[in-house]
Structure 1
């Protein structure tokens, strides 16, 4: 059984208009697209109705495959006050309401969740918060993919898997992003110990193993590279997280200033080569 065609993550064509994004995904052979919640909320504020968005997707044979991101799900709701991320709100109820709408109206099956951009302890409260989030979103057809990010309180695959396992929700799993794995601790033993079916979302991209600047956070949203253009051992990575015979797609997420300078179609084509 071959893997389903990949998903065009929101960040790979982050400045594209919705019709252009969908058309680019179809032209480059993707099966679906990702939607960032602020982007979706902006579309709704501009007057797009869910039925109109569905019509564009249906016309191109593309599905809305994922949504991102619920920041600070384990924190009290309110401003995150993270340097370089103005406007970020932790446990934002408005963001969660938009995610529910994405599940109900567009059939989005996956949503990412990320911890807090600090080193607060990962304790039972974090586990309970994740479980409660899964419980709220489950009735809307959504699975919550907990993503580890090296500069958050859930920095690695072991910590993320511990939360997901302890929460024990059927609609809770892991999101594994190659950037955060290779730029983090790259613990192959820990990654290999996670059952493949617990990894519900995989994001692929390439890059240099060592930071190129002093701002590793900025690099994560500006200097990712297309598959095969960096130093990540992506073949080995994919063999672990999407082993042969696993039909589930991967999401191509390449935040890149270089791709931003291309048309949506050209960026989508460039990003999918080698995946």
Structure 2
């Protein structure tokens, strides 16, 4: 259980999922959900992330009420679900997207979900920005009716919203109070964002979550391979995580801080060991960030 002072940490879904690779076959975690929740809580996190495949598996086996009880028993106070894409399109892709939306929205009040992550991952089919804005506005309003915030995360492999600057402008243009951003350091760095501009480009009311990780300046393999396979614990790479933390703090955000780790190495570790390594790296970066902030204040 988490009883120590310090930043509240949320273990994003892949951080506790074990040996499973996103977008390569089944996204189901091989680790039982009870084991994951207990490992997350036992290593000091107060937040838990869950994908739709694992959510549905838990719903069909033990029931979402039992999952909610596990969260309560383990002092998990922040819950995040993911991932909705193709919310702007039509046809079969939209039908499948709406099925995901339904499952996540129905689970939200049962589990006490903070936000649902959505993105603009796509196959390059053209769509106007007006349609994208209109459909995100509708998605955010539907989320409000379901009692859950909709958090948009830009990715460098999207054809529509690649950079953090573009994502910030996007949610500001939509201007739905229930539609905000996930600020992920990985995508900010890969998109060439200067961390110092973050407080200038995004008001605090639009920051629904933050994700921390680390990596290398040079992309290894494709963008997708690099994103899924080559992250390292915070402080071990070249992303300057403490600087990002302090930039986000200047926006007015102070947690819970998502810790999202995906790598070939981490998928081979016992879940608790992976969570500890990810946690320790983040906490060291917060210590460095605190010292830097204190120097700036003197």
In the superposition, the TM-score normalised over structure 1's length comes to 0.88
Q: How many residues are treated as equivalent by the alignment? A: 263
Compute the RMSD of aligned alpha carbons: 2.0
Alignment correspondent of 1:133: 139
Structure with bigger helix share is 2
TM-aligned CA distance change 1:122 to 1:175, over 3 Å: farther
Report SS of the residue matched to 2:281.
coil
CA distance 1:67–1:269, shift in 2 (3 Å): same
Instruction: Pick 1 or 2: higher relative contact order, CA cutoff 8 A, min separation 6.
Output: 1
> Does structure 1 retain, via aligned residues, the 8 Å contact 2:204–2:251?
no
Please, which of 13, 31, 40 is the counterpart of residue 10 of structure 1?
13
1:31 counterpart (42, 46, 50): 46
TM-superposed CA distance for 1:90, in Å, is 7.7
Q: Are the equivalent residues in 1 in contact too, given 2:164–2:191 (CA < 8 A)?
A: no
Matches of 1:166 and 1:91 in 2, distance apart?
A: 27
Runs of 4+ deviating beyond 6 Å: none
Single out whichever of 143-152 and 110-119 deviates more from structure 2: 110-119
Find the counterpart in structure 2 of residue 113 from structure 1: 118
Aligned counterparts of 2:114 and 2:196: Cα–Cα separation in 1: 29
Query: Match for residue 239 of structure 1?
Result: 246
Contact 1:196 1:240 in 2 (8 A): no
Q: Which runs of 5+ in 1 are unaligned?
A: 80-88
Q: Distance in 2 between matches of 1:90 and 1:250?
A: 32
Partner of 1:92: 97
Alpha-carbon shift at residue 171 of structure 1 (Å): 1.0
Quickly say closer, same or farther: Cα 1:136–1:274, change in 2 above 3 A.
same
Shift of 1:99: 1.1
2:105–2:143 contact (8 Å) kept in structure 1: yes
